[in-house]
Amino acid sequence: MKALYIASSGMAAQERNVEVISNNIANMRTTGYKKARAEFQDLLYQAYRQAGSTTSESGTMAPVAIEIGSGVRTAATPRIMSQGTPELTEKELDLAVRGEGFFVVQMPDGRTGYTRDGSFERGPDGQLVTVDGYAVQPGITIPGNANQVQVSADGVVEVYLDNATTPTQVGQLQLARFVNKAGLASAGNNLFVETASSGPAQVGAPTTDGIGDLLQGYLEASNVNSVTEIADLIAAQRAYEMNARVISGADEMMQSTTQLR
């Protein structure tokens, strides 16, 4: 009976949906996290009668078809790249992006990573790095005798050395934007990498060409809405239960047919 396989595809799809939702909920407090959403497509149909087929010798036509679908599949799990809320931390190396841009990071394997997580630290040589020690690009080194760091909205990094009353500029941060942000591939550790679907990175200074600006002493919270995720979870559970009931009902029908024989 086809209903068994159709309903089983529905259960598998909702299982994947719950996995996506659970990952969103697990990352509610992950800095710069962008939630994902499961999207589905119906599968092939078996046509028992085509729309427009002849139904009599006089030439009358069927206005609608008789089609039976074969279930559902997970089509994509795109990221929702909406802005998260900036949260005050008062830490001078914490930076939040307001706008489209991503921080540029040099990954250990030589690839370039992109992140919305601006929780930066000083490395052992004074270089600005992520919490995993990956260098923020372009390389910016903060002198050891710097007692205050200032980062402007346009990414200019200035430090006060020793007892100096005027700041010294040590570099300028760059941001990257993409034609299709949702096409970026997740690399873990709050990092994304470029793909053919995302298009090449367009790197520029903050506040230029709509790339966004920086907020010092803030971090961008995840864009996960707990109420929405719980509602989606309940809906996925109900859909899973309904497909399970279909399987149970189809099994009972098959048993009844067997007994009649």
* Sign of the CA dihedral running 140, 90, 124, 113: negative
The predicted pLDDT at position 260 comes to: 63
Q: What residues have CB less than 8 Å from 109, skipping those under 6 apart? A: none
Neighbour-count burial of 238, counting CB atoms closer than 10 A to its CB (0-12 exposed, 13-18 middle, 19+ buried): exposed
The neighbouring-strand residues paired with 202 are 177
Q: Which of 114, 136, 154 is CA-nearest to residue 34? A: 114
The answer to whether the CB of 92 falls within 8 A of the CB of 128 is: no
The stretch 176-192 carries a mean pLDDT of 94
Q: What average pLDDT does the structure give for the chain?
A: 92
Give the tokens for residue 38.
Answer: 């499961």
Q: Tokens 């087929």 — which residue?
A: 53
pLDDT digits (tens, 9 = 90+) for 12-64: 999 999 999 999 999 999 999 999 999 999 998 888 888 888 888 888 888 89
pLDDT digits (tens, 9 = 90+) for 102-134: 999 999 999 999 999 999 999 999 999 999 999
The stretch 172-178 carries a mean pLDDT of 95
Q: From the centroid of its chain, how far is CA 221?
A: 14
pTM, entire model: 0.86
Q: 3-state DSSP helix/strand/coil percent for the chain, to nearest 5? A: 25, 35, 45
Q: Which of 79, 6, 77, 73 is CA-nearest to residue 40? A: 73
HSE-up of residue 125 (Cα within 13 Å, Cβ side): 8
Q: Tokens 């920086």 — which residue?
A: 214
The answer to whether the CB of 121 falls within 8 A of the CB of 136 is: no
